[in-house]
Amino acid sequence: MITSSLLLVLGLVILIFGANYMVDGASALAKKFNISNLAIGLTIVAFGTSAPELVVNSFAAADGYSDIVFGNVIGSNNFNLFIILGITGLITPLAVQSSTAWKEIPISLLAVVILFMMVNDQIISPGQTSLLSNFDGFILLFCFLAFLFYVYNQLKNDDIAEEDNIKLLSPLKTTIFIIGGLAGLVLGGQLVVNNAIDIAENMGISQKIIGLTVVAAGTSLPELATSIVAATKKNADIAVGNIIGSNIFNIFLILSTVSLIKPIDFNLNFNQDLYILAGGTLFLLLAMFTGKRKRLDRWEALILLVFYLGYTTYLVMQEL
């Protein structure tokens, strides 16, 4: 238990340093090639911070731990939305581009709807087993490729604003920062998740709750570290783009990958968490048009944070 706790702390430290290098390298890359920070956040940073979920879920799917898979993905997306945007929005109000309010957030909501329709076979066709099949995986993969195509086209239309607080780095240093940051995020995420699971299992917590809370929070720590660092650097596009991009990646890329490895049985109890995810995403969309437009204000971020803390407490209390 002591060894696991020490390794957990080490993983957190590696995550923070990895996130810092990732943001600096990605921001420098965006400035050098005149690419918007939002596009970088939606792709490079989002993929890097979703890497722990990809690794963990690939092993979990191969070993048949379906509750860990869905608990991790749905729980991570909820953690990203409610906790990370809640915390970063309290640090600084998050102003976003028009495309985020009108396109990226609705795409992330559409991803939740598509997933819900795919996994609820028993509700749509009574008598069938609810699962995410290989065919579903191909559809999700197609959706992911379509999202990448959208981001590619978005690059042509983005208004690039010069950021005085972004430093240009040499090509070698930029590469080292991005790759080193990615490596730190993956390594730190693995250390945190593996040791958090050991601690949780010793405390007698169920697989579903481990997936929704411990594993979800652990694999979302790269997003948390990256978004907090980006927020403190006043880079809202990377902070928000990272979260929205990660949530889209988690559903379209990670669930497509693991379901192509092996079909994953779906526990209908997770529908409650999908409703929470859809509701939270809809709240974020509405927040873009209340208060100051195209901005997540501090009071809206506080609502996200308080709601999720209350919901997580409710889940844990049900297990006791």
Strands (DSSP E) contained in the chain are: 94-95, 131-132, 264-265, 295-296
Averaged pLDDT, 38-49: 67
Low-confidence winner among 21-35, 84-98, 138-152 (lowest mean pLDDT): 21-35
- Residue scoring higher pLDDT (33 or 166): 33
- Residue scoring higher pLDDT (109 or 128): 109
Q: Is the pLDDT of residue 275 over 90?
A: yes
Averaged pLDDT, 95-119: 86
Of 313, 303, 299, nearest in space to 279 by CA? 303
Averaged pLDDT, 162-191: 76
Averaged pLDDT, 98-125: 85
Q: Using an 8 Å Cβ cutoff, are 250 and 76 in contact?
A: yes
Instruction: Give the highest mean pLDDT range of 21-30, 163-172, 212-221, 306-315.
Output: 306-315
pLDDT score of 161: 46
- pLDDT grade, residue 159 (50/70/90)? low
Q: State the Cα torsion 295-301-303-309 to the nearest 10°.
A: 150
Low-confidence winner among 84-88, 307-311, 314-318 (lowest mean pLDDT): 314-318
Number of domains into which the chain is organized: 1
Q: Average model confidence (pLDDT) for the chain? A: 81
pLDDT score of 239: 76
- Residue scoring higher pLDDT (34 or 25): 25
pTM, 2 dp? 0.78
Distance, CA of 36 to CA of 238 (rounded, Å): 9
Q: pLDDT digits over 216-273, tens only?
A: 777 777 778 778 888 887 777 777 777 888 899 889 988 998 899 888 889 888 999 9
Distance, CA of 29 to CA of 35 (rounded, Å): 8
CATH of the domain at 71: 1.20.1420.30
Q: Domain of residue 49: give its range.
A: 2-160+167-319
Tell me the torsion sign for CA atoms 118, 119, 121, 123. Answer: negative
Q: pLDDT digits over 76-92, tens only?
A: 899 999 999 999 999 88
- Pinpoint the alpha helices (H) of the chain: 2-32, 37-40, 46-62, 66-78, 85-91, 98-99, 105-119, 121-124, 134-157, 171-202, 207-209, 216-232, 236-249, 255-261, 271-287, 298-319
- 94: which strand partners? 296
Place of tokens 């042509």: 156
- pLDDT grade, residue 118 (50/70/90)? very high
